[in-house]
Amino acid sequence: MAGPSLFERLKESCRDDWQRYVAHEFVRRIADGSLSEAAFRHYLGQDYLFLIHFARAWGLAVYKSETLDDMRQAAETATALLDVEMKLHVDFCRGWGLSEADMRALPEASETMAYTRYVLERGLAGDVLDLHVALAPCVIGYGEIGARLAADPETAAGNNPYTAWIEMYAGAEYQEVVRGAVAQLDRLWSTRGSEARFPSLAATFEQATRLEADFWQMGLDAADRALG
């Protein structure tokens, strides 16, 4: 019988930090609909900037890949981010009163810079496995959050203004992305991994997870500052 996936091992290696990320107060307020609109709009604007650097990271993955199949997969992901996901994000944000011009003019929050530059640094300093491990908390974590909230009977429906966000990450299309990311980690582990590498990969995953939690906290802190 096959053992746990690399992703499950990485997640287990920082279980407490992972729970602080996927069950962050920001996420809980999305679930019950109590998150302030100011917090969500701040998050959306920074997420637009985040996606730009996310596409750069997938461009780096093309360069770091050794096989044509991996290069094509990374290139397809970068293209999808630039040509599809960005448009969907802009359309979604428009419903929250944010135009693309507004978001493009935003200064990057320190939390946005911290995570995106960390991902790029790990990809530049390491190999394609290091890069995918740094990306995993975002790619796979959002799918886990969406699926859990959609399945939880305590998640508010009806008048919850964040239902569309939950459905986006719980939906079949994004869940397929998650399964692909988990499988890609295992493929890279089989060709590039070793138990001697696991502590370093786990440290990368843990730091990226903490930076993702900080990204949620950024939205709450921005809303608090606006009220203050």
Residue type, 170: A
Catalytic residue among 14, 93, 111, 138: 138
Model-level pTM?
0.93
Express as a percent the part of the chain with pLDDT over 70: 98
Q: What is the pLDDT of residues 88-118, one digit of tens each?
A: 899 999 999 999 999 999 999 999 999 999 9
- Residue 138 annotated among the catalytic residues of the structure: yes
Tokens of 32: 């019950």
| Helix (H), strand (E) at residue 39 | helix 37-64
Class for domain 6-227, per CATH? mainly alpha
Q: CA 161 from chain center: how many Å?
A: 21
Tokens of 58: 């997938």
CB of 27 closer than 8 Å to CB of 220? no
Say yes or no to pLDDT of 87 above 60: yes
- More confidently predicted of 30 and 157: 30
Catalytic residue among 111, 144, 206, 212: 212
Mean pLDDT value of segment 80-85: 87
Q: What is the pLDDT of residues 166-214, one digit of tens each?
A: 999 999 999 998 999 999 999 999 999 899 999 999 999 999 999 999 9
CA pair distance 120, 97, nearest whole angstrom: 31
Alpha helices for 65-171 (secondary structure H): 68-80, 86-94, 100-104, 110-125, 128-151, 163-170
Q: Say what the pLDDT of residue 47 is.
A: 95
CB of 49 closer than 8 Å to CB of 106? yes
Q: In the chain, where are the structural domains located?
A: 6-227
pLDDT band at residue 227, thresholds of 50, 70 and 90?
Answer: low
